[in-house]
């Protein structure tokens, strides 16, 4: 019933899958301690949140190597705060739904924070300020605010040189020039490519609307080379997917395959950059262009709020380090070139040197 409700409200398939994975993690925990989900209390919810923080993520066997051991051991790496926060929100929503339907426990095991349950949200809100999310869960962890990480040009060139096919080069070139999300670029169809206008049409992740995005000319060159290689090997048609696997039999390219492709190229180049970092790189490049208004960057990136786009005005870590080191080097150079003025009449120079520590007595 819960997933029927999500589907009826127009939630994307990826959203339903994400909710399902969080619920599966919770149900496996309850099965291990032999507690029915209808009888779960706040104690089980607390222990589940502690387990995600302490136990670590489990290992899973690869689908190509099903006999490889995995699935029962822990990697020792704790779940990220964003994952734990998302899981807590999903479970609280799940039990709220069953509370209204009368099919779950009487009390939600994942309640809101005690400090907010007794009062009204935004009770003392300043009309001049934006609204904050004051409906935080009791077991919701604090998610640190991270500055988006872009890929430096030298590092990007090394990764690009390690790509093994024209399809991969075309994908990376489109990612870094359009700023599209990974799933959005994979939604492009063969009829959604307009080389004459240098535009591609993607399906936005949240709104599911069609939007044209401008791309660089290099990306279309790599795309044409990829299309020439796959001519006669993939289905053709305006509604057919643009990106296909290189391995036979050909299948539409998936997010996990693209993510693994870029991960292999990054490992070969000695880089820890992720696929989503290409979107941040494109955003930083566009935001640093003085001739490109920030509202245009917002439209290209598909942000609902301009404040989300403004985070790309924050200088990157590498750029800050470079400028600060240059500042220190300039201070050293100026100190070396600084001339000592001659002493005033009546003062002995050697006495002033001893007084100001320029020479030992």
Dump strand ranges (E) for 234-331. none
Statement to judge: residues 226 and 176 lie in one domain: yes
Number of domains observed in the structure of the chain = 3
Statement to judge: residues 169 and 225 lie in one domain: yes
Q: Is it the case that residue 164 has pLDDT exceeding 60?
A: yes
**Strand, coil or helix: what is 3?**
helix
Which token pair is 12?
A: 């994307």
Statement to judge: residues 164 and 296 lie in one domain: yes
Q: Is it the case that residue 134 has pLDDT exceeding 60?
A: no
Statement to judge: residues 159 and 295 lie in one domain: yes
* 132 is a domain residue: no
Provide the pLDDT for residue 356.
Answer: 77
* 60 is a domain residue: yes
User: What are 196-226's pLDDT values in tens digits?
Assistant: 999 999 999 878 899 999 999 999 999 999 9
Statement to judge: residues 262 and 306 lie in one domain: yes
- Report residue 131's pLDDT band, with 50, 70 and 90 as the boundaries: low
- Asked if 200 and 194 count as a contact pair (C-beta separation under 8 A), the reply is yes
CATH of the domain at 189: 1.10.443.10
Statement to judge: residues 292 and 332 lie in one domain: no
> Angle formed by the axes of helices 217-229 and 166-178, to 10°?
150
Dihedral sign, Cα of residue 250, residue 254, residue 257, residue 261? positive
Distance CA 63, CA 52 (A): 25
Statement to judge: residues 278 and 327 lie in one domain: no
User: What are 226-243's pLDDT values in tens digits?
Assistant: 999 999 999 999 999 999
Chain centre to alpha carbon of residue 86: 14
User: What are 334-345's pLDDT values in tens digits?
Assistant: 887 777 777 788
Statement to judge: residues 106 and 35 lie in one domain: yes
* 135 is a domain residue: no
CATH of the domain at 111: 1.10.150
Listed residue (99, 88, 95, 109) closest to 41, CA to CA: 109
Statement to judge: residues 162 and 279 lie in one domain: yes
Provide the pLDDT for residue 341.
Answer: 74
* 344 is a domain residue: yes
Statement to judge: residues 224 and 325 lie in one domain: no
Domain boundaries, position 238:
153-312
Please give the model's pTM, rounded to 2 decimal places: 0.72
Provide the pLDDT for residue 189.
Answer: 95
- Asked if 182 and 258 count as a contact pair (C-beta separation under 8 A), the reply is yes
């Amino acid at each position: 019933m819960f997933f029927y409700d999500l589907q009826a409200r127009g939630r994307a398939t990826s959203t339903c899958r994400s909710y399902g994975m969080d619920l599966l993690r919770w149900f496996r925990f309850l099965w291990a301690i032999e507690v029915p989900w209808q009888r779960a209390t706040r104690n089980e919810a607390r222990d589940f949140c502690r387990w995600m923080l302490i136990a670590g993520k489990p290992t899973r066997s690869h689908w190509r190597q099903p006999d490889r051991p995995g699935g029962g051991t822990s990697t020792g790496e704790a779940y990220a705060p964003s994952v734990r926060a998302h899981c807590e929100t999903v479970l609280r929503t799940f039990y709220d739904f069953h509370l209204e339907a009368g099919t779950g426990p009487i009390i939600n095991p994942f309640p809101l924070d005690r400090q907010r349950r007794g009062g009204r949200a935004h009770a003392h809100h300043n009309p001049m300020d934006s609204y904050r999310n004051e409906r935080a869960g009791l077991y919701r962890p604090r998610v640190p605010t991270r500055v988006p990480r872009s890929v430096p040009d030298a590092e990007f060139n090394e990764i690009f040189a390690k790509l093994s096919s024209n399809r991969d080069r075309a994908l990376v070139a489109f990612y870094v020039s359009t700023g599209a999300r990974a799933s959005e670029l994979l939604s492009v169809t063969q009829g959604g490519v307009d080389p004459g206008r240098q535009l591609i049409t993607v399906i936005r992740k949240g709104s599911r609307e069609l939007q044209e995005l401008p791309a660089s000319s290099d990306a279309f060159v790599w795309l044409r080379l990829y299309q020439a290689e796959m001519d006669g090997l993939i289905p053709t048609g305006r509604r057919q997917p643009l990106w296909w696997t290189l391995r036979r039999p050909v299948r539409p390219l998936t997010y996990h395959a693209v993510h693994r492709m870029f991960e292999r190229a990054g490992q070969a180049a000695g880089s820890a950059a992720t696929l989503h970092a290409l979107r941040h790189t494109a955003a930083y490049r566009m935001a640093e262009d003085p001739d490109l208004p920030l509202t245009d960057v917002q439209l290209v990136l598909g942000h609902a709020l301009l404040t989300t786009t403004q985070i790309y005005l924050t200088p990157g870590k590498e750029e800050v380090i470079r400028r600060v080191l240059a500042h220190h080097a300039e201070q050293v150079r100026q100190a070396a070139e600084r001339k000592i003025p001659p002493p005033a009449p009546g003062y002995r120079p050697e006495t002033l040197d001893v007084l100001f520590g320029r020479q030992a007595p």
